[in-house]
A and B are shown apart, each in its own frame.
Chain A
Amino acid sequence: MWDRVIVHADLNHCYAQIEEMLYPELRKVPMVVGGNEKSRHGIVLAKNDLAKEFHIQTGESLREAYEKCPHLLVIQPHYEDYKYYSEEVKNIYREYTDKVESFGIDEAWIDLTSSQRLFGGDPIAIAKEIQMRVYHELGLSVSMGVSYNKIFAKLGSDFDKKMGFTVISKKNFKDVVYPLPVEDLFYVGKATTNKLKDKGIYTIGDIARSHKEYLKSFLGKNGEMIWYFANGMDVSEVALSDNERMPKSIGNGITAMHDLSTFEEAKDVFRVLVESVASRLKDRNLKGSVISIHLRDNELNSYTRQKKIDIATNISSEIMLVVEQLLQENCLGSCYGYLDRPYRSVSVCVSQLADDSSHVQLSLFVDENQRQKEKKIDRAIDEIRNKFGFEKIKRCCMEIHRELTNFNPKEDHVIHPEGWFKSL
C-alpha cells in the first residue's frame, strides 16, 4: 500500500500501433501513418518500429521520410478508429478508478490511491494487470510509469517505450530520476534547456539541488515549478473521468490546399473557420470577446494578431468582421487585393469566454434586433447542417474558391491540444 499511487500510461506510437493491430502484416514492413501530401498535410504522424530503424522522426515531412527509406509504406490516417480504440483502452483504466485524466488521445494518468485496496493492495501488481489486460484484450501495448506523483509517473512511462514498466518510488527516485538530462523533465522545452545549460545545470538532479530562488531568478515562475517537479513535490490531482473543464478558447485552423495570396482567398477560408468557431461556441453556450488570427507564411514564419471587442459574441458575421479588420490592418500588400506574402496556413480563435446565457448590458449604439437576427440565421444554418449534412447549405462566396473552402472544420479530425496548466 502506498500513500499515493499515480500511474501514467502511454499508448506507444498510437496511430501506427492501432493500424498494426488491425492489420498485423504492417508489422513486417517499415510503415508510417502520414497526412495527405496533396492537401499539404504530408508529415509523419506516427511510425512503426521498422520505420524507426531508418531514423524516421515523427513530425518530419513525408518527402524526408522517403529519402531515408524509399520503400516506406505510408498509410492514410483513420482518426475514427484511433479515437475508438484509444477510448477502449481508457475504458479498461476506468474499471480500476474514477480518476482517469486523459492527456491527449494516447496518454492518461490513473490515480489508484483510493482503489488499491479493492484490487489487492499492491499498486505495482494492479498496474501490471492493467497493462496485460490492454495487451490481451485490445492487442495494444502501453508503457507505464508508476509513481507517487504525476510528473515522475510520466517520466517513468517515457523511460522504456516498448511496453515498458518503470516504478519510481520515494525510495528510488534519486537514483532513477536525478541522472536524467534536464530536457526529460516535464515542462522543460528547448528554450528552458538552453537557459539551464548556460548556467551549468545539465541533469534533473542539478535542478533538484539548485536553490529554488536561483532558478526563479532566470526562469520566472516556471523555474520554481520545475524545482518542485524535480524534487518530487508535485501534488497536483488526477482529474475525475467525467470532469469536463471549461475551455479557455475555441479555435479552428487549416493548412490550405495552395498558398493564399489574395485578400478574397484568405477571407473565404477564414469564413469557413469562423462559421465553425461560432457554431462550436453556440453549442457550448459560450461567447468570447477576444478574436485572434494566426497566420503562417510559406516560409513557415508565423504570427498572431488579436483584437478585443466591446460586446462578447458568438455570431459568425461579427467575428468575421473583426477577422477582416485584422487582415486589412496587418496582411495587405502594396498591390491592391493581394496579401503582403503568400500564406500557407491560417487559424482563428475566440478567447476570454463567458457564459452566453447570462444577462448583459445592452449597448445604445448597437442594433440588438439585428444581432439577434444574425444569431437566428447562424442557428438555422447549424440546424440544417446537423440534420442534412454540412454540404447542404453554404454561402455563395464559398463557390468561388471551392478548392480552398471545401472542408468542414467542425467535424473533420478534431484533436484538442492538451496543456498541463488546465489541471492546476
Chain B
Amino acid sequence: MRLYKRYVDMIVMTNKEGKLKPLYMIWESREGKESFRIDKILDIRKASSQVGGCGLLYECMIDGKIRNLFYERNRWFIESYHP
C-alpha cells in the first residue's frame, strides 16, 4: 500500500532536558478533527522517510498499530496510508 506524507498538528510535552514526547496527534479529515493518543514510543532515532524528508523518527504505537512519526526541523509529519 502506498504511503503519503501528511503534516499533522501535535500535542507534545517538552521535558526539563528539552526532550520532546509526542502525546496526541490531531488528525484532520472531512468529518472534522480527531485526536489519537500516542500509546507507546517504541524507538527514537534520526532517519529519512520513504515519503520524503528526514528528521527525528518516533516509532509509535497509535491505536494498536505501529506508525512512523517524524519531527522534521520544526514540524511533524506521519507516514500515512491516507493522502
A joins B in a complex: yes
Closest to A133 in B: B46
Q: Choose one: B46, B47, B48, B73; the contact of A21 (CB below 8 Å).
A: B48
Query: Contact flags (1/0) for B16-53 with A, using CB distance below 8 Å?
Result: 00000000000000000000000000000111111111
8 cross-chain CB contacts under 8 A: A21-B48, A21-B54, A24-B52, A137-B48, A138-B54, A139-B49, A139-B53, A139-B54
In the bound assembly, the distance between CA atoms of A342 and B5 in angstroms comes to 49
Q: Is A22 interfacial (CB-CB < 8 Å)?
A: yes
Contact call B52/A136, Cβ cutoff below 8 A:
no
Q: Contact check, B51 vs A24: say whether CB atoms are below 8 A apart.
A: yes
Binding site for A on B (CB under 8 A): 45-54, 73
13 further A-B pairs in the complex, CB-CB below 8 A; given A136-B48, A138-B48, A139-B53: A21-B52, A22-B52, A24-B50, A24-B51, A24-B52, A85-B54, A135-B48, A136-B47, A137-B48, A138-B54, A139-B48, A139-B49, A139-B54
8 Å CB contacts to B: which residues of A94-147? 135-140
Query: Which of chain B's residues have a CB closer than 8 A to the CB of A140?
Result: 48
Contact with B along A16-27 (1 / 0, CB 8 A): 000001111100
The complex places the Cα of A322 from the Cα of B49 at a distance, in Å, of: 54
Q: How far is the CB of B52 from chain A (nearest CB, A)?
A: 5
In A273-332, which residues have CB < 8 Å from any B CB?
A: none
SS class of chain A's interface: helix, strand, loop or mixed?
Answer: helix
- Which residues of chain A are within 8 angstroms of B45 by Cβ–Cβ distance? 137
Contact A137 B46 (CB under 8 A): yes
Closest A residue to B50 using CB positions: A24
Residue of B nearest to A135 (CB): B48
Q: Shortest distance in angstroms between B51's beta carbon and chain A's nearest beta carbon?
A: 7
Considering the complex, give the chain B residue whose CB is closest to the CB of A20. Answer: B52
A229-287 interface (Cβ within 8 A of B): none
Count how many chain A residues have C-beta atoms less than 8 Å from C-beta atoms of the other chain: 13
User: Which A residues lie within 8 Å of B52 (CB)?
Assistant: 21-25
Question: How many Å from the CB of A20 to the closest CB on chain B?
Answer: 8
Find out whether the CB atom of B46 lies under 8 angstroms from the CB atom of A22. Answer: no
Give the Cβ gap from B15 to chain A, nearest Cβ, in Å.
23
A84 at the interface (CB under 8 A from B): yes
Contact of B53 among A22, A25, A136, A137 (CB under 8 A): A22
Set of chain A residues within 8 Å of B49, measured between Cβ atoms? 139
Report Cα–Cα, A21/B72, bound state, in Å.
Answer: 13
Cβ–Cβ < 8 Å partners of B54 in chain A: 21, 85, 137-139
A62-106 interface bits toward B, Cβ cutoff 8 Å, 1 = contact, 0 = none? 000000000000000000000011000000000000000000000
B-contact 0/1 string along A23-46, CB 8 Å cutoff: 111000000000000000000000
| A388 shortest CB reach to chain B, Å | 24
CB nearest to B51 among chain A residues: A24
| Chain A to chain B: the 9 pairs with minimum beta-carbon distance, closest first | A139-B48, A137-B46, A24-B52, A138-B54, A139-B54, A22-B52, A23-B52, A22-B53, A138-B48
Tell me which residues across on chain B come within 8 A of A136, comparing CB atoms.
Answer: 47-48
B53 contacts across to A, CB distance below 8 A: 21-22, 139
Closest Cβ of chain B: how far from A319's Cβ, in Å? 38
Contacts of A139 in B (CB 8 A): 48-49, 53-54
A74, B75: Cα distance in complex, Å = 27
Complexed CA–CA distance, A136 and B51 (Å) = 14
Output the least CB separation between A46 and chain B (Å).
Answer: 17
